[in-house]
Amino acid sequence: MPAEGFTFGTNRMAMISTATEIDIQRVKQSRLPETDLANPKFGRVFTDHMLVWDFADGTWQRPRIMPFQDLELSPATLVLHYAQTIFEGMKAYRSQQGDVSLFRPQANIARMNRSAKRMCMPALPEDAFLHGLKELVRMDGGWLPSGEDGSLYIRPFMFASDEYIGVKPSEGYRFMIFISPVRAYYQEPLRVKLELEYSRAFPGGTGEVKCGGNYAGGLYPSKMGQDEGYHQQLWTDAMEHKYIEESGTMNVFFIIDGVLTTPSLDGTILPGITRDSILTIAKDKGMPVAERKVTVDEVVAGLRNGKVSAAFGAGTAATIAPIKVIAYKGEDLELPDLGADSEVHRLGRMLDDIRKGRTPDKYGWVVHVS
């Protein structure tokens, strides 16, 4: 039965179904035996099934799990013209005990609903979302690559599915989840470029939500940086290009005078789940931590005088990615090599130990699937 109505985006009301039963259609023959899980290209290999859940007539319909397949869309599908779409990224891991588990899925679900509100889309019932996610991962858990760096990358997304040309929120939406077996996103320390001309996000815009347009706008300057030999841009604020915000696929951290420092959330930075996890663990371990505005001048000077001893990106895909070079106005500023006992690698190991069940999960972050 439908639950009580809720408001999203505009003053429209929508009814959500509390039903968690899922129609399931399994593949006749799995593609897993013919898949090389030892070397999957990140985001290019997909598991057998996907979840599909439609919003129509003001209500979330009954969800379905079906064989992974192409979509059939009208050329007039609203998302293709006005980019009303949001997504998330999360991972499943194999624990030391041998079962498959999700890391902080409730935080991703909550963030997706914040994105939905900003993009004038219906909220997803959180319990039903988690139930469908767990069922899909349970069905395709065998695709999880073995080894320390193996995981399942999970992509939930939602898009406007109405078929018309007109600039207004859609009435219908499609929510989907599919899964990709992956290994490490980056194979080497990163070279990043401080972006002082183009901008990713503006005050009052959509920088703090995970919508497709944020990434489309960054493709051109990122491509220019990659052509110069850099993995990512290091975005700065749109008003003055004075303050560092985040990198292309990651939040960013610096160790400045021994303090773990990251730009504070101000509405233009995505509130990363990995970012929050690192801050929580670091504070718990007694590390000095600062969330504040970080200036370009401070970082550049710190790289030159040694006060910035480390920098790294943090995100679901990359987890913790050490930064080796930060480019500033044509100059490559190098960071020291990080030893195995560096604070950066220790933080990464502590995070991994929780995800893999090697240490007690006192935060309640791990959700077991099987």
- Tell if the pTM clears 0.95, that is, is over it: no
Q: Which fold has domain 6-182?
A: D-amino Acid Aminotransferase; Chain A, domain 1 (3.30.470)
* CATH homologous superfamily, domain 190-355: D-amino Acid Aminotransferase, subunit A, domain 2 (3.20.10.10)
pLDDT in tens, 255-294: 999 999 999 999 999 999 999 999 999 999 999 999 999 9
Q: Cβ-count burial of 216 within 10 angstroms (0-12 exposed, 13-18 middle, 19+ buried)? A: exposed
Domain boundaries, the chain: 6-182, 190-355
pLDDT above 50 (res 4): no
Opening angle at CA 119, ends 114 and 121, nearest 5: 85
- What was the pLDDT predicted at 13? 33
224: left (phi over 0), alpha (psi -120 to 50) or beta: alpha
Domain 190-355 in the same topology as domain 6-182: no
**Looking at the DSSP assignment, which residues form a beta bridge with residue 90?**
154
- What was the pLDDT predicted at 99? 94
The answer to whether 170 and 82 have CB atoms below 8 angstroms apart is no
